[in-house]
Amino acid sequence: MTIKKTEIVNQKTDYDKSIGVSLTHYTLEKLVAKITAENIHSEIQTGKPRGTEIW
């Protein structure tokens, strides 16, 4: 059985109710293309290395 991207699959929840799940295929190229100057986050500081990192 092949499920097309546009089809909706019913999934059961913990409460025995069905929900619709849309299947969308994402690629890294498409996701990165959506990064703009307005939505990019700044660098995150995580502190000094604690192990054998070579950053």
Between 12 and 36, the more confident residue is: 36
Rounded to an integer, the average pLDDT of 16-36 is 81
Q: What percent of the chain has pLDDT over 70?
A: 58
Least confident of 16-20, 25-29, 34-38, 51-55: 16-20
What is the C-alpha to C-alpha distance for residues 25 and 21, in angstroms, rounded to an integer? 13
25 has pLDDT over 60: yes
CA distances from 44 to 23, 29, 40 (A): 32, 23, 12
pTM of the model: 0.41
Distance in angstroms (rounded) separating the CA atoms of residues 40 and 38: 6
* Whole-number Å distance between alpha carbons of 42 and 36: 12
